[in-house]
């Protein structure tokens, strides 16, 4: 099976712009979660989608949003980018519904905001 | 914010030695997982231990969990240079019933294994 794929792998944007990141989970996985990783805050949960519905959301401003499509692919969007949004954005897919299963992570998208 | 802390923040050992990393967390958990990350890449799942388990082994990995102290440790035996990476603990809260995937990560331990 192919692993979790994320596109693009690297992205450079300027303040005020918006960005869309994409994640394709492992085939058959229906749950996708997004995490932000920064040197200062570490790994933080952004949101989780299951069957096209957002099931949980982390403590991030409304500039961060996401969605999931019927084929389980997910996108996250960040509007009005700020310097502090520079981070590695990781997506993870889970094979089974239920609390705390092993998650399979993609390679991440490295976003740099100038 | 991070739920947990890991110590040490950095660990440097020689090949063949054992490496021990500790993780503390704050709330009741359903399970605790350990992940590995190489140089800012994606995370790789290593092992999962449930709240009713006290110890688990997988190859050269040994994980312990003490829910009364809200702490866990990861032991890597006979370390190799290829084990050089950052290691993170992650907890799934016992309150997240029905929510599959939210993990709260610790601060991580950077392990350097030298020849």
Residue among B98, B100, B35 nearest B72 (CA): B35
pLDDT at B1: 44
Q: What is the pLDDT of residue A55?
A: 85
Give yes or no for a contact between B9 and B106, defined as CB atoms under 8 angstroms apart.
no
CB A36 within 8 A of CB A87: yes
Distance from CA of B2 to the nearest CA of A (A): 7
Mean pLDDT in residue range A34-58: 92
Residue B95: its pLDDT value, please? 66
Which chain A residues are within 8 Å of B105, Cβ to Cβ? 35, 42-44
Q: Do A42 and B92 touch (CB under 8 A)?
A: no
Q: What is the pLDDT of residue A56?
A: 85
Average pLDDT, chain A: 93
The alpha carbon of residue B92 is apart from the nearest alpha carbon of chain A, in Å, by: 5
Taking only the tens place, the pLDDT of each residue in A47-75 is: 999 889 998 889 999 999 999 999 999 99
A77 interfacial to chain B (CB closer than 8 Å): no
- Dump pLDDT digits (tens) for B56-81: 999 999 999 999 999 999 999 999 99
Which of the residue ranges A25-34, A53-62, B27-36, B79-88 has the most confident prediction, judged by mean pLDDT? B79-88
Average pLDDT, stretch B95-99?
57
Instruction: Work out the angle at residue A17's Cα, subtended by the Cα atoms of residues A66 and A73, and round it to the nearest 5 degrees.
Output: 25
Count other C-beta atoms under 10 Å from residue B3's C-beta: 20
Structure tokens at A23: 């994640």
Q: Are A111 and B40 in contact (CB under 8 A)?
A: no
Is a pLDDT exceeding 80 seen at residue B98? no
For residue A13, the model assigns a pLDDT of 98
Nearest Cα neighbor of B70 from B48, B47, B98, B91 is B91
């Amino acid at each position: 099976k192919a692993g979790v794929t994320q596109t693009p792998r690297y992205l450079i944007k300027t303040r005020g712009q918006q960005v869309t990141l994409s994640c394709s989970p492992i085939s058959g996985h229906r749950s996708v979660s997004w995490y932000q990783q920064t040197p200062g805050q570490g790994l933080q949960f952004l949101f989780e989608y299951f069957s096209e519905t957002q099931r949980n959301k982390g403590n991030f401003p409304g500039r961060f949003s996401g969605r999931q499509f019927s084929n389980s692919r997910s996108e996250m969007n960040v509007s009005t980018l700020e310097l502090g949004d520079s981070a590695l954005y990781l997506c993870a897919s889970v094979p089974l519904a239920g609390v705390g299963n092993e998650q399979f992570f993609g390679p991440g998208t490295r976003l740099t905001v100038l | 914010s991070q739920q947990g802390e890991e110590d040490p923040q950095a660990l440097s050992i020689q090949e063949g030695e054992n490496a021990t990393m500790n993780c503390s967390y704050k709330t009741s958990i359903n399970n605790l997982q350990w992940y590995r990350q190489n140089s800012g890449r994606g995370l790789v799942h290593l092992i999962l231990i449930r709240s009713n388990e006290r110890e688990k082994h997988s190859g050269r990995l040994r994980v312990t969990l003490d829910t009364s102290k809200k702490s866990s440790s990861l032991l890597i035996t006979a370390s190799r240079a290829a084990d050089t990476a950052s290691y993170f603990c992650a907890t799934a809260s016992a309150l997240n019933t029905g929510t599959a995937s939210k993990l709260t990560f610790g601060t991580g331990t950077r392990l350097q294994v030298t020849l």
